[in-house]
Amino acid sequence: MSPKSGKSGKDDKGRAGKDRAGSDRAGRTRSKAKPGADETAARDAVAAIPPAAPAVAPVQGASGLRRVVITGAGTVNALGLDVASTLAAFRDGRSGITQLDFRDVERLTIQIGAQVHDWNPETYFNRQQILLYDKFTQFTLLAAKEAVAQSGLSFHGELGLCSGVVLGTAGGGLNTWDENYRVVYEEGKNRVHPFVVPKLMNNAAASHVSMEFGLRGPAFTVATACASSNHAMGLAFQMVRSGAAQVMLTGGAEAMLCFGGVKAWEGLRVMSKDGCRPFSANRNGMVQGEGAGVFVFEDHDHARARGADILAEVVGFAMSADAQDIVMPSAQGAERAITGAMRDARLNPEDVGYINAHGTGTAANDKTECAAVAHAFGHHADRLMMSSTKSMHGHIIGGTGAVELLACIMALRDGVIAPTIGYQEPDPECALDVVPNTAREARVDAVLSNAFAFGGLNAVLALRRA
């Protein structure tokens, strides 16, 4: 037995299992090799490295769950390049759906969409940035800058360590995919730009937002088709509420309006050739849009202490899976997400005054969603207002929930309910108040925002008046 291990008790228990097998059982003494010069130098070098900042600064106290508020909002979409113009379009019931304008659009069966026309990235970014940013990242950064500016936050120092970003997208850098497939397959080139991969990856927007503002806490991307933004915002809400972060930038973006993007969706046969008419008996499909919405979710006490202007409070979130069909929706799955969000928010059905519907304008989605809402709310469903703003800004897929959250904030803060435009004929299977064609003034104290995605993935947020 080695002289150092000859004692009984704690000394023997503290030795590694391998050493004990080699010396205790065999009764032989192992000599300790002295570290060589290289090993000593390596240890000294490691010891000289300053300790890293914590991945997420501890901000949760003993009081339990924190309240979460929204202190900034930003957007880019077909209705406008900022929040003010988007809300004005909601109030006016103005559609952003127009003829599409991009390469080879004449080869498409579907030639309408809610496109951000005359988008000029040179107005906002330098040449090097444009080489790195797909259009969905460009939209995201512009929206994030507006949101952060409104919040009045600066992420230098400690706040940056406990702040992060989680965003939703379904297609990520789809324009970059489309452009470079052309380069390789159509033009026959054998090389693409070295920035293609970092430009098209789904986490590109979240990464660039974290770098732009110095957000060193949680940073990642959620991809759950049409529910991506709601899932992202729900996770951001949970992180701030739990104390895992003090501030989170969150929302989502999409830029699928290119030849390859629309051609793929044409194959599903769910697209309308002439307009988006959610809940109307003569609806015949969805219309795609593009854009981004970004919000600042902040700890309530932190926001109050600095005198922030609070836009709304996020009070609940729930998600569910239909586990049934890859494209057909389930009323039961949607209902479970709706009731789960109300339960998480401690809201009774009669507390909710408005729902921003998923409302795609397809035959299956709209009647399924109405059935889910009617069952979840019972008799109160007849007194609810529910509208689909996709009739104006189109279906922005992974970014749609983020742009739609603006309508929820408008309802709570301004007392204006965005309409469902394009509504022409009542549908007995959608017999709810869908706020047809004209915005409505009404005071509401709590709202829900629904998102029900392909794959049977459902995510519902609950907000309350600040």
Which run of H or E residues covers position 113?
A: strand 112-113
Catalytic residue among 208, 231, 393, 395: 395
φ/ψ of residue 293, rounded to 5: -140, 135
Instruction: Pinpoint the alpha helices (H) of 100-134.
Output: 127-132
If we measure between CA atoms, which residue out of 462, 369, 455, 450 comes closest to residue 412? Answer: 462
Distance, in Å, from the CA atom of 192 to the CA atom of 289, rounded to the nearest integer, reads 28
Q: How far is CA 456 from the centre of its chain?
A: 17
Catalytic residue among 276, 358, 393, 430: 358
Would residue 208 show up in a list of annotated catalytic residues for this protein? Answer: no
CB contact set of 375 (below 8 Å; sequence gap of 6+): 331, 335
Distance, in Å, from the CA atom of 466 to the CA atom of 444, rounded to the nearest integer, reads 11
Which run of H or E residues covers position 1?
A: none
Catalytic residue among 226, 370, 408, 430: 226
Q: Indicate the SS3 state at residue 286.
A: strand
| Cβ neighbours of 150 (radius 10 Å) | 19
Q: Indicate the SS3 state at residue 440.
A: strand
Which run of H or E residues covers position 266?
A: helix 259-266
Distance, in Å, from the CA atom of 439 to the CA atom of 410, rounded to the nearest integer, reads 11
DSSP E strands in 178-286: the ranges are: 219-222, 247-254
Distance, in Å, from the CA atom of 135 to the CA atom of 101, rounded to the nearest integer, reads 15
> Tokens for 65?
């769950």
Q: How far is CA 221 from the centre of its chain?
A: 8
Distance, in Å, from the CA atom of 216 to the CA atom of 342, rounded to the nearest integer, reads 32
DSSP E strands in 170-226: the ranges are: 219-222
Q: First-to-last CA distance in the chain?
A: 71
Q: Indicate the SS3 state at residue 355.
A: strand
Determine contact, residues 261/170, Cβ cutoff 8 Å. Answer: no
Token pair 């995605």: residue? 453
Annotated catalytic residues are 226, 358, 395
